Amino acid sequence: MKTFREYADDIISFYSENGIDLGEKAPEISFDDSRVSRFDVFAPTGHYDFTKDEITLRTDNRHAKDIMRTLCHELVHAWQFRRDPEGYMKFDKTGSLKDNQTLLEFEREAYEKGNILFRMWTEARGPAV
């Protein structure tokens, strides 16, 4: 069985094959295994810190596939930063989506590309159904 890092490296390679080039060095990936109730629907699942070029993934009480999906979303944020560092750094990343149009657009792109590429990766790399 592959390790999480091997799956992550494969996803990063798949991203590159599909137009999401993260450059020569992909973001660092760290894990937050802080205890969280499996019923806490508001617990954060992960985030990208552009100041450290690091993705943090929450792992406690989460299915591996869900953690990978979060990784895919956060990788798009890393790509957004690489694509336009100045633009990414200067917009406010807090508040609600309904009040922050720029945040909404960045999140929309991350959800769309991250989820679609994750689905394509599982279809391309997973067992035939």
Q: How confident is the model at residue 129 (pLDDT cuts 50, 70, 90)?
A: low
User: Using 50, 70 and 90 to split pLDDT, how confident is the model at 40?
Assistant: confident
Question: Minimum mean pLDDT among 4-8, 30-34, 71-75, 89-93: which range?
Answer: 89-93
Q: In which element (H, E) is residue 126 found?
A: none
**pLDDT class for 65, splitting at 50, 70, 90?**
very high
**pLDDT recorded at residue 115:** 97
pTM: 0.93
Q: Looking at the predicted structure, is the pLDDT value of residue 90 above 90?
A: no
What CA–CA distances, in Å, run from 129 to 48, 65, 122, 124? 33, 17, 11, 11
pLDDT category of residue 127 using cuts at 50, 70 and 90:
confident
In Å, what is the CA distance from 109 to each residue of 2, 13, 115? 29, 19, 10
